[in-house]
Every structure is written in structure tokens, then in C-alpha cells.
């Protein structure tokens, strides 16, 4: 079966002082029907920009320079705003980190949810209200009926996040892109909401792209993982393969920097020594070379992206540089 989403060779450019800067390039991945794909990587590596470009929501000073984003075989990047609106908020929705800015402060949760349902599902007001209440109940909202009458500022962070997820689910999307959906919440609520997403995936048969810094969540929920570094995918693998046999030195360092994956206090990806190079988009070779203990001249001059096992891709020369097969390949 063809993948639900197929991102091919995506390149995104920001205009800064009239100078174009490439922030992500050669980004390719697929999302299969019903799977949870997680995207991880340090701050600024291009996770949000990639997500926003899929939905056509990049800021005005950014544009997609190259590539395609096929959703059920149709290129979202070639669609008009009107065509995109048919898909966005219908079959493809997004949950943002900043919920306060995503919910309208002057309308009650009920108004916003009922309106979304009416627009996307074509229900009359009564049916839409009943469905809104049912959705709030499904996302574990306490006292859904009362919440319908409340304004966003009257809810706790966890409740607002649940309301946002209910909104994203309202049209029974085929794909939800969740960008750090729980960062602002405490760990217990984060876990609850993530588990809820996984449960809803089963119930609604949908796919999820989950962008997160929380490696514990990745280990628990994701089917496959993409690791991004300096605007590129540097490793892609099924989740167990990635945790058991991380092949890119950056992934290895990231996983080593997490003291205990299942330890609640230390679930976040920590930064590793060194910094991401400035103007990385102008580099011919590996963007991790300055931080990599195995770097050689070949690494600094040329990039590769290769499949070391079926479904396991790595942007690294490793094995070749050291004159041996990848020890984990
Ligand atoms: N509005 C903007 N104008 C200019 N450059 C931007 C803008 N937004 C993002 N960028 C650049 O694009 C790159 C990718 O940013 P992005 O927000 O996608 O990172 P991220 O991986 O989501 O980070 P985080 O984990 O902090 O959310 C960064 O280098 C950033 O400087
Ligand atoms: S290509 Fe070379 S420098 Fe880059 S991560 Fe691999 S071994 Fe390190
Ligand atoms: Mg982000």
C-alpha cells in the first residue's frame, strides 16, 4: 500500500535581510497508514519548520524551495489555498505546542469545537454539540458538559491541551501532526496525553507524526523514528532498531546523553558537547563532523545517505571511513 504521506527531498528557505538561508534540505520520509512516526533532534534542527511546510503554514518569510509532499498521492505543495483548506483541518490536522495561541480566547471551547464540527462534518448544531461533548469525554476531559461553556483561560494547561486534541480529532483526520504537544505540561499529564494519543490512534485508525524532545515517549509510543540534525534527516529506523543499534554518531551521542530512558526525571534529550555549525547549508560534507570523534577528510568533503538495513537509513560514512563494515550494520 502507498504511504499516507510521502515527503521527498524537501528544502525550506528563510529570507533574512533579503538573503535566502536554507534551513532544511534533503528531508525525505514517509508516514504509513496507522503508524506513529517520531521526529527528534536538538532545538533549531528544523522539526517545526518541516511540520509547518507540510500543512502550508510556513511564515511569510519562508518558502519551500524544492521537493514534494504527497498526501494520498496528491502534492500538497502544488495545491491552491482553497484545495489545501479542504484537506487541512479535515484529513490532516496539527496540534501545536503553544495551545493558548491556537485556541481563540474570545470564544468558549463549545463555540470553537461545535463550529469546527459543523464546518468539517456538516452536522446541525444539536448533533455537533452532542459530538463535541462526546469528543471531550473521549480525550479524558473532566465534566465535558461544563467545559463546553468555558473560555480557554478558565482551563488548566492539561485541559486546554485535551481541548486542542479534541479539536484536532473533530473531523476524524487520517493524520495528526503533533509538534511538542505536551512540553508545557508536567510529566504526569504529559504521559497521560501521550498515551491518550496512542489510544486514539487505535480507535480512529489514524497516523501520527510526533515531534518531541522526550525520548521516553519516543521509546514507548513511536513505531519509527527520524533523527534530524542541522536541517537534515541523519538517521531513520524502526524504533527498536534505533534504540538497540543507533548507527549515526549523533544518534549514539543523543541516546547516551539520556541517563535513563524510562526514568521520569531524565527523559529529555540533552545537548551534546559542541554546537551546530553556523551556515551549515553551505557545507559540502557532513554537518556533524566538528563534533564527531570519527571524522575524516572524506566526511568533511562529501555526504552519503544510505540504507544499512531494510528501513534503516544513516547519513554517515562510518564503516567505510574506518575501513570496516558498520559494527552495528
Ligand atoms: N521565523 C523565522 N525566521 C527565520 N528563521 C527561522 C524562523 N523560524 C525558524 N527559523 C530557523 O529555522 C531553523 C529550524 O527551526 P525550527 O523551528 O524548525 O526548529 P525546531 O527543530 O522545531 O526547534 P525546537 O526544538 O526548538 O522547536 C532554525 O535554525 C531557525 O533559526
Ligand atoms: S560522516 Fe563522518 S563525521 Fe559525519 S557522523 Fe559519520 S563518521 Fe562522523
Ligand atoms: Mg519546534
**Ligand 2 center–CA 288 separation, angstroms:** 6
User: pLDDT over 90 for what percent of the chain?
Assistant: 59
CB 204 within 8 A of CB 170: no
Q: What percent of the chain has pLDDT over 70?
A: 90
Percent helix, strand, coil in the chain, to 5, is: 40, 25, 35
Q: Tens digit of pLDDT for each residue in 221-259?
A: 899 999 999 999 999 999 999 999 999 999 998 888 765
Return the ligand number nearest the Cα of 298.
Answer: 2
Task: Give the whole-angstrom CA distance, residue 121 versus residue 53.
Answer: 25
How many residues does this entry show for the chain?
329
Ligand 1 atom 16: residue of nearest CA: 46
pLDDT of 140 above 90: no
Instruction: Of 325, 313, 272, 324, give the one whose Cα is nearest residue 28.
Output: 313
Alpha carbon 4 to its chain's center: 15
Alpha carbon of 96 to ligand 3 centroid (Å)? 9
| Ligand 2 atom at minimum distance from 317 CA | 1
Q: How confident is the model at residue 270 (pLDDT cuts 50, 70, 90)?
A: low
Question: Domain 5-91+173-321: which topology?
Answer: Rossmann fold (3.40.50)
Distance (angstroms) between ligand 1 centre and the Cα of 265 equals: 27
Indicate whether 300 pLDDT > 80: yes
- For residue 14, the CA-to-ligand 1 centroid distance in Å is 10
Helix, coil or strand: residue 113 = helix
**249 CB under 6 A from ligand 2?**
yes
Domain boundaries, the chain: 5-91+173-321
Higher pLDDT, 48 or 266: 48
pLDDT > 50? residue 321: yes
Q: Is the pLDDT of residue 329 over 70?
A: no
Reported confidence tier of residue 108, pLDDT bands at 50, 70, 90: very high
For ligand 1, atom 3, the nearest C-alpha belongs to 14
For a pocket test of ligand 1, which of 25, 39, 44 has the largest count of ligand atoms closer than 8 A to its C-beta?
44
Q: How far is the CA of 54 from the centre of ligand 1 (A)?
A: 15
The 10s digit of each residue's pLDDT in 109-129 is: 999 999 989 988 889 999 999
Residue 271 pLDDT > 80, yes or no? no
Helical spans, DSSP H, in 57-186: 81-87, 99-102, 109-121, 125-138, 144-148, 157-169
Amino acid at each position: 500500500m502507498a504511504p499516507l504521506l510521502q515527503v521527498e527531498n524537501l528544502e525550506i528557505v528563510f529570507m533574512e535581510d533579503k538573503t535566502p538561508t536554507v534551513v532544511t534540505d534533503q528531508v525525505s520520509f514517509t508516514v504509513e497508514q496507522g503508524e506513529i512516526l517520531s521526529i527528534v533532534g536538538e532545538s533549531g534542527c528544523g522539526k517545526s519548520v518541516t511540520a509547518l511546510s507540510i500543512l502550508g503554514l510556513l511564515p511569510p518569510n519562508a518558502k519551500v524551495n524544492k521537493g514534494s509532499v504527497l498526501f494520498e498521492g496528491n502534492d500538497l505543495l502544488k495545491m491552491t489555498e482553497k484545495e489545501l483548506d479542504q484537506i487541512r483541518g479535515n484529513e490532516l490536522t496539527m496540534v501545536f505546542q503553544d495551545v493558548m495561541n491556537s485556541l481563540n480566547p474570545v470564544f468558549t471551547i463549545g463555540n470553537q469545537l461545535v463550529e469546527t464540527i459543523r464546518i468539517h462534518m456538516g452536522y446541525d448544531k444539536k448533533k455537533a454539540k452532542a459530538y463535541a461533548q462526546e469528543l471531550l469525554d473521549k480525550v479524558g476531559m473532566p465534566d465535558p458538559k461544563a467545559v463546553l461553556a468555558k473560555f480557554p483561560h478558565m482551563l488548566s494547561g492539561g485541559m486546554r491541551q485535551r481541548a486542542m486534541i479534541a479539536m484536532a480529532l473533530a473531523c476524524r483526520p487520517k493524520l495528526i501532526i503533533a509538534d511538542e504537544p505536551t512540553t508545557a505540561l508536567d510529566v504526569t499529564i504529559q504521559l497521560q496525553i501521550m498515551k491518550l494519543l496512542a489510544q486514539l490512534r487505535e480507535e480512529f485508525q489514524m497516523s501520527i507524526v510526533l515531534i518531541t524532545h522526550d525520548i521516553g515517549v519516543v521509546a514507548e509510543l513511536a513505531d519509527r523514528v527520524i533523527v534530524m540534525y542541522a536541517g537534515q534527516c541523519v538517521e531513520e529506523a524502526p524504533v527498536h532498531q534505533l534504540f538497540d543499534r543507533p548507527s549515526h554518531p549523533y544518534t549514539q551521542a543523543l541516546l547516551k546523553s539520556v541517563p535513563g530512558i524510562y526514568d521520569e526525571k531524565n527523559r529529555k534529550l540533552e545537548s551534546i558537547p559542541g554546537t551546530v555549525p553556523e551556515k551549515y547549508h553551505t557545507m559540502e560534507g557532513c554537518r556533524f563532523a566538528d563534533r564527531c570523534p570519527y571524522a575524516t577528510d572524506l566526511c568533511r568533503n562529501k555526504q552519503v545517505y544510505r540504507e544499512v538495513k531494510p528501513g534503516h537509513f544513516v547519513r554517515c560514512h562510518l564503516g567505510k571511513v574506518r575501513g570496516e563494515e558498520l559494527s552495528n550494520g
